[in-house]
Copies of this chain bind each other. A is one copy, B any other.
Amino acid sequence: MASSIATPAVESPEQKSLIELRCRVDRRLETLLAESASDDDPVFRAMRDSLLAPGRRVRPILLILAGRELGGGLPALLDLGCAVEMIHTASLILDDLPCMDDASLRRGRPTMHRLYGEDVAMLAVVALLSRASGVVAESTGLFAQQRTQMVERLSRAVGIQGLVKGQYEDLHEACHVRSIEAVMATNTRKTGVLFQAAMYMAALAAGADETVIEHLDRFALALGQAYQLCDDLSDGGAAQGKDVHQDRDKTTLVSLLGPEEVRGHLAGQLEEADRHLSAVYGADSPLSRFMHGLFPLFR
């Protein structure tokens, strides 16, 4: 499907290859979804609309680049990336619901509960999460033992210690004054855990050793922090197609430290992320370049 993400007028071979990768992810998402559902079902339409909305596919591309450079097979990496994208999409629908952030806009479009009703939006969350575990469980080109380890890891990333806890803290604790450490812990649960699970799956799919797994885990943590800081810094929201000032009453590192210091923190997290990438892939890897492309103002 067509993407609305702006691309430079002159594309380098690497940029072209990234765009091609994003298209492959989009096509595979569509196929994996179509395999699961019937056409006229509003829950299916909500799943499809949210999952296939134009997006950068950051998590699938990170997973694929991380695993491919280590020798992992593309079909498996593609499926694993799509499963992560399904979970990410489910978390966005959930986050937007009236009893959560009560958002009206996401990626510049009405949120799912505005389009389809709250019940359908919630059922789409459940269906996307279920589909994700099914996709991992039946992903081809992997040993069954690898797939069970991945399902287990994803289950933890989503569950009571992961995205669920991050979502709860974001709703109930972010409005109180909190320490820098507490804010960072919530940021990890909101964003880092799914990056960590994606990197774990990439490493496992490629048969990487413990040292690589550990470096990729720490890369994912740093990237998660950077991602969340960038989100906090840009909370005018409009540039991201979200409701403006959604987070204005929340304690973020920006409200605690001010934007200048947070920019410094963000740059520090990217350096930390790069250190771990270098240990695995050497300096200036495709994965590192992709990461820096996500933060054009911080290089």
Interface residues of A (CB under 8 A from B): 36-38, 41-44, 47, 94, 97, 99-100, 117-120, 122-123, 125-127, 129-131, 133-134, 136-138, 143-145, 147-149, 151-152, 154-156, 158-165, 167-168, 171
Are the C-beta atoms of B123 and A125 separated by less than 8 Å? Answer: no
* Min distance, Cβ A43 to any Cβ of chain B, angstroms: 5
Are the C-beta atoms of B144 and A159 separated by less than 8 Å? Answer: no
Are the C-beta atoms of A37 and B160 separated by less than 8 Å? Answer: yes
Are the C-beta atoms of B167 and A155 separated by less than 8 Å? Answer: no
- By a CB distance below 8 angstroms, the chain B residues around A47 are 160
Once A43-B168, A148-B151 are accepted as A-B contacts, the answer to whether A126 and B123 lie under 8 Å apart by CB is no
- By a CB distance below 8 angstroms, the chain B residues around A123 are 164, 167-168
Are the C-beta atoms of B155 and A137 separated by less than 8 Å? Answer: yes
- By a CB distance below 8 angstroms, the chain B residues around A143 are 144
Are the C-beta atoms of B126 and A41 separated by less than 8 Å? Answer: no
Once A37-B161, A131-B159, A145-B144 are accepted as A-B contacts, the answer to whether A152 and B168 lie under 8 Å apart by CB is no
Once A37-B161, A151-B133 are accepted as A-B contacts, the answer to whether A120 and B168 lie under 8 Å apart by CB is yes
Cα of A160 to Cα of B132 in the assembled complex, Å: 12
